[in-house]
Amino acid sequence: MRMSILQGATMQASAGRGAAAGQAPAAIPMQAPIGAEIVGIDVGAGATDADYEFLRDALHEYSVIVLRGQGITPAQQQAFAGQFGDLRTSFYNRYAVPGTPALTVVSNIRRDDGELIGIADAGMLWHTDGSYLKTPDMYTLLYGIEIPQQDGRVLGDTVFASAWSAYDALPSDLKGRVDGLRATHSFTAHIAKKEAKGQLKRAPLSAEQRNALPDVDHPVVRTHPVNGRKCLFVTEGHTSDIVGLEPGESAELLAFLTEHIKKPQFQYRHSWRKGDLLVWDNCALQHLAVFDYGQIPRRLHRAGIAGPVPV
């Protein structure tokens, strides 16, 4: 297990703050290249400024952090998320949590009329949230409400891969080749990929929504705006081509890079529990949802935080 510069760090805990009272926040690293569990912070009871500073530091060190056993309301999740930056309201506002427009329902559950209550196909391809936007999501916060199980086994894991570890592991000649290149990220191409694989389950976009999502170009290698790490920023889900390369060369390079980042040595696989609140850094990693639960109910609430233009 990696040692943490944050593990055992002392912070003043607010008196009377529920289960966290008297316990200093600490980050316990996962037995994986990325990820840490945070203890000593009860979001529902209220986090302090020192707590948020601790969480941001942990997030930028571990890329994904897990706060377990958080019994929170949608309003509390939205308020907590807003402390990490500007909340982004999804263009899929038909799936917003009532009363909290910055939260989106991710679920396979259907209403009595057969309509899905949330996005049912989110995360079927490796991606980083909002990369198809000029200012992609910097952070994502996902809260587990209904977690599928079968025969005592938890289903519906989320797998994360470190984009900076994947970059660091590239041969030096390949680093030299990809540094400075740009790639096109396309929501239209993303939907087409899902349709081709028979994975598309969400309601179709309106013409107005499609027009509001033009293709964008981002660096193939992105520099993290806080810690300065270089991260691969091309994905299986949303990257359609590398700008300036012939189609065959572009496809070959993209295939190599998107397969490279999926390697197990870069991954942390999260097994969900009800009440888990995950926060992750979309510059530093990519993620994939595991769809192994069929029609067993699953429901989570997601918040996205707008980030800067990638450089």
**Eight-class DSSP state of 265:** G
CA–CA distance, 89 with 66 (Å, rounded to integer): 23
Dihedral angle, C-alpha 54, 55, 57, 61, nearest 10 °: 140
Euclidean distance between CA atoms 72 and 67, whole angstroms: 12
Cα distance between residue 47 and residue 50, in whole Å: 8
Burial 116-127 (b: 16+ CB within 10 A, else e): bbbbbbbbbbbb
**Kind and range of the H or E element at 54?**
helix 49-62
If residue 280 lies in a helix (H) or strand (E), which one and from where to where?
Answer: strand 277-281
- Residues taking part in catalysis: 127, 129, 287, 302
Do 58 and 67 form a contact (C-beta atoms < 8 A)? no
Exposure string of 79-114, with b = 16+ CB inside 10 Å and e = fewer, is bbbeebbebbebbbeebbbeebebbbbbbbeeeeee
Beta bridge partners of 37: 28, 66
Distance from C-alpha of 142 to C-alpha of 303, rounded to nearest angstrom:
6
> What is the spatial distance between Cα 147 and Cα 218, in angstroms, rounded to a whole number?
35
Distance CA 11, CA 140 (A): 25
267: left (phi > 0), else alpha (psi -120 to 50), else beta? beta
**Residue reference for tokens 């349709």:** 195
